[in-house]
Amino acid sequence: MHVEELNGTNCKTYLLAVGASAALVDPVRERLATYRQILQARGLKLAMILETHTHADHLMLSREGKELLGAQVVMHRESPSPLVDRHVEDGDVLLLGTERIEVIHCPGHTPDSVSYRVPDAVLTGDTLLIGGSGRCDFPGGDAGKQYDAVTRRLFALPDDTTVYPGHDYKGKTTSTIGAEKRDNRRFAGKTRDEYVALMGQLGLPFPEKIQQSLQVNQSGFEAAEVQFPLVADVAAMPALSPAEVAAKLASATPPLLLDVREPEEFVGDLGHVPGSLPVPMDALARRLPKLAGYVDREIVVVCRAGARSASAGAILQQAGFRHVRNLAGGMVAWTDAKLPVAH
Ligand SMILES: [Fe+2]
């Protein structure tokens, strides 16, 4: 398999090619025209767009970008975006031409982070970087899980496996699993507790474009379509587990369940919670007057993975709704808990 980095910046996009079949890993929206030129010039047909996670530092492809490239978008099952065509889980194998691409779930930087293992190499996204690792302080981040993913899963690969990271800030391009096991000071000789403590003390500023990037990438909506609340307000949204929501629904004063996914998701694979009210994200602002009766009642906001619903919940709070909660983990967690769904 041919593996090539296309951006030449610290934010990396990889081209994978087998014969005339190609995949792009983590394409950046601004460079869409360049990617198309490269594919065309080499006579490559784009089969897949593989995302290693929901990015907070750059805009992922929009609906239009996806159509221009004409390939299916692949992301982990817990990825919030409605623009994903194929959801994958740990152990799934994708085929590019005759070659295998294996999905390794590596939660930590985000809940939906994956690494893609290809012959002799692994694309590690923001999980394992050269001499470093991706930050774990964004909403949904978890340093302990990241330590487990790196030390138990990635470090279990053969030592000579080439590592292609999602970022590098020092001009490096590749490493190997063996070199990272030996030299990566985040992990070498560190216990899980030491790693969690270290990651909690990084004190990194949020990326400049987090406000524009994260919520657009999570929701599939452009900022002009939906006025997003501040990331800090979204992170502060109180959440309820699926079991807690189910208990409330069975009580004498059940909350209103507001499902902010797209209409096709509401009736799609995951279904919806029986009795929930569908109000897609882009319709929420104009539907607020109809929800006025719920200003003092409890509202639980629901989406696919709990990210869009946290944004929608913050919008409701700003509009004066006083008892807004988020269904943690969204319909993915609800169905994992084997709670009732309607289609
Ligand atoms: Fe990232």
Closest Cα partner for 256 from 285, 223, 292? 292
- Give 319 Cα–ligand 1 centroid separation in angstroms: 31
pLDDT above 90: residue 229: no
How far away, in angstroms, is 118 Cα from ligand 1 center? Answer: 20
Report residue 235's pLDDT band, with 50, 70 and 90 as the boundaries.
confident
Lowest mean pLDDT among 193-202, 229-238, 311-320: 229-238
pLDDT, mean of residues 52-75: 92
Q: How far is the CA of 138 from the centre of ligand 1 (A)?
A: 9
The pLDDT of residue 63: 87
Q: What is the whole-number distance in angstroms between the Cα of residue 126 and the centre of ligand 1?
A: 5
State the alpha helices, DSSP H only, in the chain: 32-41, 63-69, 143-148, 177-183, 192-200, 210-219, 231-235, 242-249, 263-266, 284-287, 308-318, 330-336
**Ligand 1 centroid to residue 261 C-alpha, Å:** 23
How far apart are the CA of 54 and the centre of ligand 1, in A? 7
Of 148, 285, 153, 135, residue with least CA distance to 205: 135
User: What is the average pLDDT score of the chain?
Assistant: 95
Q: Residue 275 Cα, ligand 1 centroid: separation in angstroms?
A: 36
Average the pLDDT over each of 66-70, 91-95, 196-200 and give the range with the smallest value.
Answer: 66-70
State the distance from the centre of ligand 1 to the C-alpha of 10, rounded, in angstroms. Answer: 12
Do the Cβ atoms of 287 and 191 come closer than 8 Å?
A: no
DSSP state of 149: I
pLDDT for 223 equals 80
Q: How far is the CA of 295 from the centre of ligand 1 (A)?
A: 36
* pLDDT, position 234: 87
d(CA 255, CA 132): 44
